[in-house]
Chains A and B, each alone.
Chain A
Amino acid sequence: MNIFRFLGDLSHLTSILILIHKIQTSRSCRGISYKTQLLYVIVFVSRYLDLVWTYVSLYNSLMKLFFISSSSYILYLIKIRFRPTLDPSIDTFSLPYLIIPAAILSLIFNYADEKAWLSEVLWSFSIYLESVAILPQLFLLQRTGEAETITTHYLFALGAYRALYIPNWIYRYATESFVDPIAIISGLIQTALYADFFYIYFTKVIRGQKFELPA
């Protein structure tokens, strides 16, 4: 564990707490993509099911439990508790376009061997799906053209988590020759998806202006 990975994980955890706080205090899931949140549940369940048969550390297990339970709770908040505030007409990104390619890629590029096939395919599927899971949310943002500040803080913390994993990989390569090509390539793509968002966040939201996309 190095500082980059730890801060990245903390940032990820914070982003989820911000999202729950936003939904509960505003009693609304306005501006939040249900589809992105559904994808995160699929990502966490398919990746962290290994919780049952793999033990890395207490930290690792607790985080996995947190990500599975909190993402499921968010889905409950959106789909049941505050369902009337959901506007499906702007959350229109088609999920099969993301899920099917991720599934195909995971069948081709994975770390499966004769001992572990399903768990390895599920793991790479979750990595590929995570790298694009934010797209319905960014698409929704693009459609509405603006966002509540709290939503942009959520997105920033989520993007920062991905960005912090990059120095983590560089550090791990330098200190332990650790290289995980599937995670690294997917992670770089995922971080790149945030580039536009980061630009507007730094030039507007940080200076106290409203998050608005250029017309």
Chain B
Amino acid sequence: EQHKHVKDEL
């Protein structure tokens, strides 16, 4: 499933 992209990487 496609969920909102989380930007926790630098």
Give the number of residue pairs across the A-B interface with Cβ within 8 Å.
22
Q: Are B10 and A180 in contact (CB under 8 A)?
A: no
Q: Are B7 and A5 in contact (CB under 8 A)?
A: no
Q: Are B8 and A180 in contact (CB under 8 A)?
A: no
A60 to B6, CA, bound (A): 13
Main secondary structure on B side of the interface with A: loop
- Report A-chain residues with C-beta under 8 Å of the C-beta of B10: 9, 12, 60, 63-64, 67
Size class of the B contact interface (CB-based, 8 Å): under 10
A64 to B5, CA, bound (A): 19
Q: Which of A114-131 contact B (CB under 8 A)?
A: 123
- Report A-chain residues with C-beta under 8 Å of the C-beta of B7: 50, 54, 56, 123
- Report B-chain residues with C-beta under 8 Å of the C-beta of A56: 7-8
Q: Are A111 and B9 in contact (CB under 8 A)?
A: no
Q: Are A60 and B8 in contact (CB under 8 A)?
A: yes
Closest Cβ–Cβ distance, residue B8 to chain A (whole Å): 5
A5 to B8, CA, bound (A): 11
A205 to B4, CA, bound (A): 44
Whether, in the assembled complex, A104 has its beta carbon less than 8 Å from a beta carbon of chain B, the answer is no
- Report B-chain residues with C-beta under 8 Å of the C-beta of A67: 10
Q: Which of A41-60 contact B (CB under 8 A)?
A: 50, 54, 56-57, 60
Partner of A5, one of B4, B5, B9: B9
Whether, in the assembled complex, A206 has its beta carbon less than 8 Å from a beta carbon of chain B, the answer is no
A5 to B9, CA, bound (A): 8
Residue numbers of A with Cβ under 8 A of B are 5, 9, 12, 50, 54, 56-57, 60, 63-64, 67, 111, 113, 123, 165, 168, 178, 180, 183
